[in-house]
Chains A and B, each alone.
Chain A
Amino acid sequence: MMRRALSAALLGLGLLCLGVLALLSVTRRWPWPVLVPTELHADQWRELFASESGVGGVVLRSIGMASSVAILATAAGFVSSRGVARHPRREGLFLVLHLPFAVSPVVLGVSLSYFFLRLNLAGHIVGVVLAQFILAYAYAVILLSGFWNPQVQALSGLAVTLGADRTQVWLRVLLPVARPLLMLCLLQTFLISWFDYALTLFIGGGRVSTLTTALYQYFGSGDVRLAATCALLLLAPPLAAIALHQRLLSATVAARLEA
């Protein structure tokens, strides 16, 4: 019963949060001390995307950047992680790979901004994507290193003895077996970029607008309605991805338990 109460409490909290954001995004006024605002304008969303606020463009830009970071980091991380996993000093390498996460994202942004300025990447989407890639790549290598265990090595060896060449081993054995972990990595690295604010701020220099910078701008200027809208837009893709991915995660966990 306690389990159900806990899950109910979490669900209640989640619904409260979504409800508050949804209400804020469709109301023009929420005067004190009204508990639930009554002046709701559902057409505000349509106006928003049609208007000069450019929220539509910001959303597309954010999706594009996060997808690029995710695909690049996962692909590069998968290939690189094998070398790291097999390295005789892999413990030391893992320590070093954790460094970008240990130092604050502000420190990372502040320290990199000079170089990006010199390379004419500051203030550009490419610059922000590259900066986010550093974090995402490190994360991908750490996460995917766990894939290269003796069992996978045995599977590769088996495929070779059955006649597979190197390409076939990758395409027919390694990639399919790694698929659940790769999906997880894609999701996690997507979120690293999607949620990023500090690197976008420092490397983007205020000229690259993403949902996070837009949210902060609207909040800072007192436009809670637009801030809440950006917040809902920020939540939507990851919630959908987690809903899809959670089934994958459960299936993977279940398969491993039954093995």
Chain B
Amino acid sequence: MSSTGNGRPSDLWANITVGLVTAPVAAGVAFMILYSIGVIGLLAGGFTLESWVQVLADVRTWVTLGFSIWVGGASLLTSLVLALGIHTILGAAPRRRALHGLWYAPLAVPPLVAALLSVEILGNAGVLARLGHALGWIGQPLDFPSPLYTRCGAGIVVTHVALVTPFLVLLFDRLARNERVEGLTEAARTLGASATQAWLRVRLPVLMRAATPALSVYFLALAGAFEVPLLVGAQYPPMISVAIQRRFSQFDIAMRPQAYALATLYAVLSAAILFLVFAARRRRERLERGA
């Protein structure tokens, strides 16, 4: 392969790379579509949209999707506000030191462990409940207002926020360096901006502008989360990944096409969101270059 410039071998290699990643995903989606429309499968009887009609007409589908978007959005927004606040308080890391090592430690916590900790700390018989009992605030485990297993998804949101906020703090720290946010803030201050004005008119828009692609991927990851809703979510409504897993695990093979239809629906929606975000960013960049 060429080691210099833009020779065709380089392009070919890049295409192969992307093919290695997209081929399995594309094949998987194609398989799910064909299965869901009855073209292939153990009980396939030829092309039919029956599974799709059942899934789309089922109110539970839309409740699940809406609930996933709600939990993903609430988790991301809460984490965003917290992370921006923390990043602002921590301020510019001194030139000779990056962000304190402590802030990297949460990267070591997987979603399953976070969910387990939520149960043991925030659960009805968790550490906080026991502390409340010791202080005389509650009598029985059920007296403790645990956010877990609630229909509004509070337990899922709290766990996600604990997981995602440190990531966002690190993200903002890195972006602030790349975008020279401290220098820009100083420029704004000497132009007459108060600390609040500099934050609102410079730091916030510059960081959000740079972080949008990463935030959109985070949103999709949160909306499509599996482990945390599995352990701390209510039975109903389930989040989309749990709903798909439940349908897929059912003994009734006849339900399999519906499982694939639901999975395809979510795959297409999430791919579309990703595409829209990237397209919007490209359009903005093109406008800025061409203006």
- B21: which of A7, A106, A137, A227 is its contact (CB, 8 Å)? A137
Contact residues of B between 79 and 136, Cβ < 8 Å to A: 86, 89-91, 95-98, 100-113, 116-117, 119-121, 125, 127, 129-131, 133-134
Report B-chain residues with C-beta under 8 Å of the C-beta of A84. Answer: 14, 17-18
Complex-state Cα separation, A86 to B5, whole angstroms:
8
- Give the nearest-CB partner of B24 in chain A: A134
- B28: which of A3, A111, A235 is its contact (CB, 8 Å)? A111
- A134: which of B21, B130, B244 is its contact (CB, 8 Å)? B21
B253 at the interface (CB under 8 A from A): no
A158 at the interface (CB under 8 A from B): no
Report A-chain residues with C-beta under 8 Å of the C-beta of B260. Answer: 110
Task: Please indicate which of the listed interface residues A7, A21, A79, A104 has the most CB atoms of chain B within 10 Å of its own CB.
Answer: A104
Asked if residues A102 and B14 are in contact (CB atoms below 8 Å), the reply is no
Partner-binding segment picked from B148-156, B199-207, B269-277 = B269-277
- Number of chain A residues whose Cβ lies closer than 8 Å to a Cβ of chain B: 84
- A219: which of B11, B109, B231 is its contact (CB, 8 Å)? B231
**What's the minimum C-beta distance from A98 to chain B, rounded to whole angstroms?**
6
- Give the nearest-CB partner of B100 in chain A: A7
What is the interface of chain A mostly: helix, strand, loop, or mixed? helix
**What's the minimum C-beta distance from B268 to chain A, rounded to whole angstroms?**
9
- Give the nearest-CB partner of B110 in chain A: A195
Report A-chain residues with C-beta under 8 Å of the C-beta of B134. Answer: 33, 35
The contact string, 1 if C-beta is below 8 Å from chain A, for chain B 211-222, is 000000100110
Asked if residues A3 and B90 are in contact (CB atoms below 8 Å), the reply is yes
Contact residues of B between 234 and 261, Cβ < 8 Å to A: 240-242, 244-245, 248, 259-260
A39 at the interface (CB under 8 A from B): no
B32 at the interface (CB under 8 A from A): yes
A166 at the interface (CB under 8 A from B): yes
**What's the minimum C-beta distance from B242 to chain A, rounded to whole angstroms?**
8
Complex-state Cα separation, A166 to B3, whole angstroms:
8
What is the interface of chain B mostly: helix, strand, loop, or mixed? helix
Asked if residues A16 and B224 are in contact (CB atoms below 8 Å), the reply is no
How many A-B contacts at CB < 8 Å in the complex? 248
Asked if residues A104 and B240 are in contact (CB atoms below 8 Å), the reply is yes
Report A-chain residues with C-beta under 8 Å of the C-beta of B15. Answer: 87
B52 at the interface (CB under 8 A from A): no
Asked if residues B98 and A249 are in contact (CB atoms below 8 Å), the reply is yes
**What's the minimum C-beta distance from A139 to chain B, rounded to whole angstroms?**
10
Interface CB pairs A-B, < 8 A, 29: A17-B121, A32-B125, A35-B127, A35-B130, A81-B17, A84-B18, A86-B10, A86-B14, A87-B14, A96-B22, A97-B21, A101-B221, A102-B220, A106-B244, A106-B263, A107-B241, A108-B25, A110-B260, A115-B28, A134-B24, A166-B3, A195-B112, A198-B226, A215-B112, A215-B116, A231-B112, A231-B117, A254-B97, A257-B95
Closest 9 CB pairs of A and B: A111-B28, A104-B224, A83-B14, A238-B108, A195-B110, A83-B13, A80-B17, A106-B241, A33-B133
